[in-house]
Amino acid sequence: MVSLPPNPYITDMHPILKDRRSLIVYLAAWLTLALMLTAMLALPGRVSWAAVLAFTLPLMFVYAFITLSAWYICKAFPLGVAPLARILVTNCLAAVFSSSLWVLAGFGWVAVLNTLQEGMIPPAWHIDSLPLLGSSGIVLFLLASAVSYLIAMFEASREAERNALQLRVLARESELKSLRAQIDPHFLFNSLNSISALTTVDPPAARAMTVKLAEFLRLSLRYGALDTISLTQEISLTTHFLAIEKIRHGNRLAITVEIDDAAADCRIAPLLLQPLVENAIRHGIDGLLGGGTIGINATRTGDQLHLCIENPVDAGALPKEGTGVGLDNVRRRIAGLYGTDGRITTLRDASRFTVRIDIPVRTPEEN
Amino acid sequence: MLRTIIVDDEDLARSVVREHLAAHRDIQVVAECSNGFEAVKAVAELSPDILFLDVQMPKLDGFEVIELMDPKPAVVFVTAYDSYALKAFEVHAVDYLLKPFSGERFTEALEHARARIAAPLPAGLTALMEDHRVHEAPLQRILVKNGASVVVIPSESIDYIEAEDDYVAVHSGGKRHLKQERLSELAQLLDPARFIRIHRSFILNIDRLARLETYAKDSRVAILKDGTRLPVSRSGHDRLREIL
């Protein structure tokens, strides 16, 4: 199906007709204008105020709706798109045309009033007031045009603002998504390769590993969809991950986890530690002949949560491809979530690499 | 009988390859290695026909292992990363297996290795390909084979490099390491911001330069911080002036 471009004449309802409040305000403004016109016509004193009012009020009421057409001219010849000369000429012609129509309608109304009450509007007075009526009609139409262009400009800027905001939200969402998708696909390929090896060597172990892998994937999907999870949940995810890595690395990989009771319930962004643990293996344990121990440590002091991941590194190892990407992502996430309240620091000495995260505590009660 | 060595830091990954090889009567696994050092040593001692080689390993990666092997067996890379495929082609690997792989795919790789052993690449072609080798980043360390063991010299700890016939002597912290390579080739691989060809026979790490002494118009000597004196040619002096 081909979707048609929106037709501005049909889909764009006049902003003043859109809701009742703006229509009332609009008509009130016109009532003021009508009273001003009445005053100008009645001040010479040749016709009574009541008669002039009876003449101007309905005419102005009708004109209030005629001038609404200025909006559609504005939409058809938008400022900044159509040439300025063309906008001016079109609006002036429309003003003259509308005003003429309106003045002609005035003749009809005078006739009606005079049949209702003989001699209510003297024709001579009416002829004399024609220049004022005609010029008022033109001025009022042009005024309506000016207001229409102002409204259009206001709407355009608001629209642009809304679009920009929407883009920002979308960008942030997609960034968060990609940051969450931190699980290295090579981890999966290597795990599948291990399973492929185990299927003949040790079938029960192969089955156990598929179950572990499935549990890890399920957990990471479930947690990844949440805004925050408890530290205990994050650690359990990490433990699942490390259990799989332990099958691959055998004795080369050991893990110690120390979590303060006070820290266990704190809420953190899901999969915050995951990329760091992956790094600890890829850039640490993988490069060591004898492997080593990854230490995960969480403590709480007051309203601060401290997370610490450390791993041994080979002193002579070169930085591997992809170094820093996972770390940068974690850094960006912490900056996005906690602003200046969150901090991530890294320390590398000859044989150890340490990542330390300090973030404000968020417990279940505060969420 | 074809002799093979399996190199992978994971026991299970090696066992998959071993299992697939067991189906082929004419293949004998002569060694299994779990890191680059072991691999270099085993290849030197056992001179296998085929090497099944992981890329990411402790100490030396698969490419560094290849660099240090001489003569080079037919290499089949076995890795979970597809990003090294182009580089593997540049070092004339016969195949590139992505983990996990099927038995059929493994047999195919083995056939490629057999074909390569039956008809090695012509020497002219290998030389041509080596000349066109793409080097993304300057060399960060130089690997020198000393018998069956390997010495890793980080580039920042090199003082200077001297040409000696078909070899280069890498001087680092008072020690001298011989490596079979041409000085001109090495000059292109090293970081040009740090290593300057000051003479037909010398590359200098400019961090080590103490001062330059001029004796005659075209006779200059570079004095290193440890007192070593190296000759500087006229074009070498131009290059030095450019960088200093």
Per-residue model confidence (pLDDT) at position A318: 61
Are residue A21 and residue A34 in the same domain, yes or no?
yes
- The domain in which residue A305 lies consists of 181-366
At which residue do the structure tokens 């690395």 appear?
A249
Q: What is the complex's ipTM, to 2 decimals? A: 0.74
**Mean of pLDDT over chain B:** 89
Distance CA A253, CA B9 (A): 12
Say if residues B232 and B198 touch (Cβ distance below 8 Å): yes
Same domain, B42 and B122: yes
What residue in A sits closest to B97 (Cα-Cα)? A193
Could you tell me if B7 and B124 lie in one domain? yes
pLDDT above 70 for B240: yes
B49 pLDDT band (50/70/90 cuts)? very high
- How far, in Å, CA of B228 to CA of B241, rounded? 20
Beta bridge partners of A344: A357
Which among B131, B158, B193 is the end of a domain?
A: B131
Task: Report the pLDDT value the prediction gives residue B12, as an integer from 0 to 100.
Answer: 93
In terms of domains, do B147 and B44 share one?
no
> How high is the pLDDT of residue A2?
43
Q: B104 pLDDT band (50/70/90 cuts)?
A: very high
Asked whether residue A3 is assigned to any structural domain, the reply reads no
**Is residue A302 located within the same domain as residue A345?**
yes
Total tally of structural domains belonging to chain B: 2
DSSP string, B18-56: HHHHHT-TTEEEEEEESSHHHHHHHHHHH--SEEEE-SS
- What percent of chain B has a predicted confidence (pLDDT) above 70? 95
Among the residue ranges A201-205, B112-116, B119-123, B231-235, the one predicted with the least confidence is B119-123
pLDDT tens for each residue of A132-180 = 889 999 999 999 999 989 988 888 888 888 888 887 777 676 666 655 5
Would you state the pLDDT for residue A8? 45
- B65 part of a folded domain: yes
Structural domains in chain A (count): 2
Are residues B182 and B115 both part of a single domain? Answer: no
What are the chain A neighbours of B58 within 8 Å (beta carbons)?
286-289, 314
Burial B163-174 (b: 16+ CB within 10 A, else e): beeeebbbbbee
What is the reported pLDDT for A99? 92
Q: Which domain holds residue B76?
A: 2-131
Chain A residues whose CB is inside 8 A of the B10 CB are 190, 194, 248-250
Task: Mean pLDDT check: name the lowest of A101-115, A174-188, B43-57, B137-151.
Answer: A174-188
* CATH number of the CATH domain containing B111: 3.40.50.2300
Does residue B223 share a domain with residue B191? yes
Which CATH number goes with the domain that contains B195? 2.40.50.1020
pLDDT reported for residue B165: 84
pLDDT of residue A4: 45
Judgement on whether residues B26 and B47 belong to the same structural domain of the protein? yes
Boundary-marking domain end, from B97, B131, B165 = B131
| Domain final residue pick, A177, A212, A235 | A177
Q: Are residues A196 and B100, on separate chains, in Cβ contact within 8 Å?
A: yes
Is residue B128 scored above 80 in pLDDT?
Answer: no
Same domain? For B154 and B51 the reply is no
Q: Which of B56, B39, B58 lies closest to B145, judged by CA?
A: B39
What is the nearest CA distance from B138 to chain A, expressed in angstroms?
A: 13
Instruction: Please tell me the predicted confidence (pLDDT) of residue A236.
Output: 94
Whether A188 and A90 map to the same domain: the answer is no
Cα–Cα dist A255/A240, whole Å: 12
CB pair distance less than 8 Å for A286 and B56 = yes
Residue ranges in chain A whose pLDDT is less than 70: 1-12, 171, 173-182, 317-325, 363-367
Question: Which residues are CB-contacts of A210 (< 8 A; sequence separation ≥ 6)?
Answer: A195
Q: What is the CATH number of the domain that holds A284?
A: 3.30.565.10
Indicate whether A112 and A192 sit together in one domain: no
